[in-house]
A and B are shown apart, each in its own frame.
Chain A
Amino acid sequence: MALEGLLWCIGALLATGVAAIWAAHFRAGTPVVYGAALCFCAAALGIAVTCLLAGNSLLGALTLPVGLPWLGAHFRLDSLAAFFLVVVNLGGVTASIYGVGYGRHEEAPGRVLPFFPAFLAGMNLVVLADDAFTFLFTWEFMSLTSWALVMAHHRRSGNAAAGYLYLIMASFGTLALLLAFGLLAGPAGGYAFQAIRAAPPADGVAAVVLVLALIGAGSKAGLVPLHVWLPLAHPAAPSHVSALMSGVMTKVAVYGIVRIVFDLLGAPTWWAGALVALLGGVTAVMGVLHALMEHDLKRLLAYHTVENIGIIFIGLGLALAFEANEMRAAAALALTAALFHVFNHSVFKSLLFFGSGAVLTATGERDMEHLGGLIHRMPLTAFAFLVGSAAISALPPFNGFVSEWLTFQAILVSPALPQWLLKFLVPAIGALLALSAALAAACFVKAFGVTFLGRPRTEAARNAVETDRWSLATMFILVALCLIAGILPGYFIDALAPVTQVLAGAHLPRQGELDWLTIVPVAQSRSSYNGLLLFLIIAFAAGLGAEAIHRWASRALRRSAPWDCGFPDPSPATQYTAGSFSQPIRRVFGTVVFRAREEVRIPPPGDLQAAQMHVRLRDVQWDTFYVPITGLVSYVADRLNKVQFLSIRAYLTLVFGALVALLMVLAVWQ
């Protein structure tokens, strides 16, 4: 019943997309389309939440007579799918509300409106797909609709290149997934997930499938070094679509990995866990370091998506390692941490992208060096962005901290793993996780501080106005969610119990009934955290301090010019910029990771020219992995170019030669 309802919602979203082609011609079309998307996503969200809380592992399966004629399209709703549907449709609901306000400023609604509901439908369908063909078809549908949204403002410089790179990476990823499913289906060609689950592949094949799945879904999620398209493509789309791509679509990719590796591949091997966790650790640190070097607000957020995907993969890798060693409770802990971070990241990343969209609307600027002082002109957006920043920096009492805390707890039970490589690797991954958390805080001090605090650096920042009510409402819904998931994490962990029960064969102890809503992942003597109590005590202590001081000491306040050690400068150019803020970190980490070079040219005394400083950063992953490949492709293309200008005789010879070669292959094969 629930599955049928969801499919009806998805169908309605697709119909909305088709209708939007016509509706986009009218001014009233924008709110109507977003309103419709909102209604259908909200309905799907309601169904998904009910299913997840119902706690059954299997909630419905259905075969529709579409797709390949002998296969049909299988759909299945289990608790894992229900959880990811919650993430997808929560993102859909908030992006739709935001779109009502944000979409008014859209200069070409015809390029956005039809694809927006279709993109949402595509993501929903991937999660529900239960055979390889449907999965790949809907995956590609999701990729193409999001590509169309990335290309919505295709005339803006850089966007076309970003879209091109995205298209290549997406097709490459799908190719890898196609091969992975081909191997999973085996020679008999059982493409339904049911058949794959019944006959899991042998060890060697499973290893190849794992690597292919990591390439295919990892490139969509943004695993280093397959992340290069992500920081270009996500910011190029309109901001509510950026939020969906960063907050939700990367989670659909995580879903793909979880479905293949935990569900279809049979029992995991320990080295699979080591590989996934190591990739996660490297991704987390590289993502945040890239983000620190970035001055474009939306691109900084996109790089942080890479970081958070890394954190999620650390959890997934640990879960695989535990599961390979039959440590079910520990696997459930690591998996809960990863999935809770999936939810949390989708919440605060959407919030931050909505905030950056509000800044973009108000100032027309994405470059932080041209912003500043926005807190005075946009106080509510600033507040929401601040909460999002604190949450993504894993600061208590917000939600990002809880999932990172759970990941740390999973790392702390891992000395029990018997494999030596893991014993060396896991503490290193713990150090990478700790480093990325600390660097994320530095990065968001920069992002919030340079954008919203200080003095305005340009006229555009000086004249910004607060954004519209729809956008603000969306942001404050997400602010509330960040706080609620942070102080009442027990209920969220309980909701994940059926998912980990299916995937890892165990679940964390029930948290909702514990005294004072503490969360205790393993045992009371081992570790516990109570966000609610902490939040209340801090609020109480701050309130007490403020009240006491204002009552008994002084509440007088005078405004004056800044002190600045006696040298206040009226020019806002003297304040710290994003570049100068990250300079110490660039000097410490950047010389190795980015081969950063600083070049300072100071004119000789008496010369009135301005001094100049150039900073050169190199993207090592791009140089190592992509430059050789692009070079090779251009070289081969150059050589093959000659083939276009041959005579008819030469072409006939080529065809004949090809035929002979194929026959030879066949003869040898037999």
Chain B
Amino acid sequence: MAIVLDLLVQIGQMVLVLALAPLFTGYVRKVKAHLLRREGPPLVQPYREMLRLLRKDVVLAHTASWVFRVAPYLIFATTWVAASLIPTFATGLIFSYAADVIAIVALLGSARFMLALAGLDVGTSFGGIGSSREMLIASLAEPAMLMVVFTLSLLAGSTQLSSIAASMQGPDVGLRFSLALALIGLIMVAIAENARIPVDNPATHLELTMVHEAMILEYSGRHLALIEAAASLKLLLYVSVIVCVFFPWGIAVSGQGLVAFVGGVGVYVVKLAAGGFVLAVFETAIAKMRVFRVPDFLGAALMLGFLGALLLFVTMAR
């Protein structure tokens, strides 16, 4: 019986992230529009777009292979699974031990690998430019992310995201310089990984500046819908990691019962709203940078993560 309940909570988490992700994207867009003194599309616009795309035909290039057709499903599934392993409203979910945070980073790496291949599949120059730049960004963002992971797992004594969140709630962590470095590094990585300003612009189709959009230029219909869903899941994942690990208050512990879970979901939504608001303000306040400035930006993130980990290595004696 207990296992069925645990399974239900886990499925609830999967459904929750899937349902919230487009809403979160819509929310960030709405806040950005308001900051620019525009009305902005309604909050549910991403759902409408996705449903419309799902109903449309797929227009496939003659030169596309099976990789191009399979990739959206794999990207979506991998990102979805990665997102559902984050302790969003409760720690100690039943599948959380299947993949620790290193594995979650690697799962996102798998999704990106497929996406970059899909960008090269049709054999157009735009797809190639997107893939090539995406892999450049990833080659710096992924180590930076792993350095942040090092910092967190050294502090918590665990690489399980669930245990990390739980231990950050505990009394023996406190404010630490390494944590501040890790937080800044993680935010920079999150911006780069989700193709947000100043690294990439999710709203542009101006050829020479786009990265993510260039890779998915040939996609249409249900394939595009899946990729859009995966992109919003990824954004939700990163914001969730930031708010749930660095601001872990109010997360329920598995087995506390329904009321605690509902409370956890409520707190989670509030935290997401705050995170999305900060993201929108940040994006509005800053200009996009040239592609070859991005390595400097990410190099700084890598250095911050590395310094955080190094400080812990030097100061910890266990």
Q: A554 to B226: give the CA distance in the assembly, Å.
A: 13
In the complex, the chain B residue whose C-beta lies closest to that of A415 is: B316
How many Å from the CB of B110 to the closest CB on chain A? 4
Using known A-B contacts A427-B313, A441-B138, determine if residue A525 contacts B77 with beta carbons closer than 8 Å: no
Is B240 on the interface with A (CB-CB < 8 A)? no
Size class of the contact patch on chain B:
35 or more
Is B36 on the interface with A (CB-CB < 8 A)? no
One of A411, A415, A453, A526 near B117 (C-beta < 8 A): A453
Q: A545 to B18: give the CA distance in the assembly, Å.
A: 12
What 0/1 pattern do residues 52 to 90 of B give for CB contact below 8 A with A? 001111111111011100000110111011000000000
Q: A412 to B101: give the CA distance in the assembly, Å.
A: 13
Q: Choose, from A55-63, A196-204, A563-571, the stretch at the interface.
A: A563-571
Q: Cβ of B65: which chain A residues have Cβ within 8 Å of it?
A: 375-376, 382, 453
- For the A-B complex, the count of residue pairs with Cβ-Cβ distances under 8 Å equals 283
What 0/1 pattern do residues 552 to 563 of A give for CB contact below 8 A with B? 011011111111
Interface residues of B in 117-131 (CB under 8 A from A): 117, 119-129, 131
One of A414, A525, A576 near B129 (C-beta < 8 A): A576
Q: A528 to B98: give the CA distance in the assembly, Å.
A: 6
Interface residues of B in 92-126 (CB under 8 A from A): 95, 97-100, 102-103, 106-107, 109-110, 112-113, 116-117, 119-126
One of B124, B163, B310 near A568 (C-beta < 8 A): B124
Residue pair A546, B73 in contact (C-beta under 8 Å): yes
How many Å from the CB of B117 to the closest CB on chain A? 6
Residue pair A558, B57 in contact (C-beta under 8 Å): yes
One of A427, A537, A545 near B310 (C-beta < 8 A): A427
Residue pair A560, B123 in contact (C-beta under 8 Å): no
How many Å from the CB of B154 to the closest CB on chain A? 6
Is A463 on the interface with B (CB-CB < 8 A)? no
Q: Cβ of B45: which chain A residues have Cβ within 8 Å of it?
A: none
**Tally of chain A residues near chain B (CB < 8 A):** 90
Is B42 on the interface with A (CB-CB < 8 A)? no
Q: Cβ of A576: which chain B residues have Cβ within 8 Å of it?
A: 120, 125, 127-129, 131-132
Residue pair A545, B122 in contact (C-beta under 8 Å): no
One of B119, B126, B159, B221 near A526 (C-beta < 8 A): B159
Is B142 on the interface with A (CB-CB < 8 A)? yes
Is A416 on the interface with B (CB-CB < 8 A)? yes
Residue pair A449, B120 in contact (C-beta under 8 Å): yes
Residue pair A526, B158 in contact (C-beta under 8 Å): yes
Is B282 on the interface with A (CB-CB < 8 A)? no
Q: Cβ of B62: which chain A residues have Cβ within 8 Å of it?
A: 559-562
Q: Choose, from A82-90, A114-122, A393-401, A595-603, the stretch at the interface.
A: A393-401
Is B309 on the interface with A (CB-CB < 8 A)? yes
Using known A-B contacts A427-B310, A529-B99, determine if residue A575 contacts B109 with beta carbons closer than 8 Å: no
Q: A256 to B124: give the CA distance in the assembly, Å.
A: 48
Is A524 on the interface with B (CB-CB < 8 A)? yes
Residue pair B222, A554 in contact (C-beta under 8 Å): yes
Interface residues of B in 211-255 (CB under 8 A from A): 217-218, 221-222, 226
Q: A526 to B313: give the CA distance in the assembly, Å.
A: 17
Using known A-B contacts A396-B107, A442-B138, A563-B61, determine if residue A534 contacts B116 with beta carbons closer than 8 Å: no
How many Å from the CB of B222 to the closest CB on chain A? 5
One of A386, A530, A561 near B98 (C-beta < 8 A): A530
Question: In this complex, which of B56, B138, B309 has the most chain A Cβ atoms within 10 angstroms of its Cβ?
Answer: B309
Contacts A442-B139, A542-B77, A576-B129 supplied; 9 other A-B pairs, CB < 8 Å: A396-B107, A408-B102, A453-B120, A527-B158, A534-B103, A553-B222, A563-B217, A565-B205, A584-B292
Would you list 6 pairs from A and B whose C-beta atoms are within 8 A, ordered by A residue? A396-B110, A412-B159, A437-B143, A449-B119, A453-B65, A453-B67
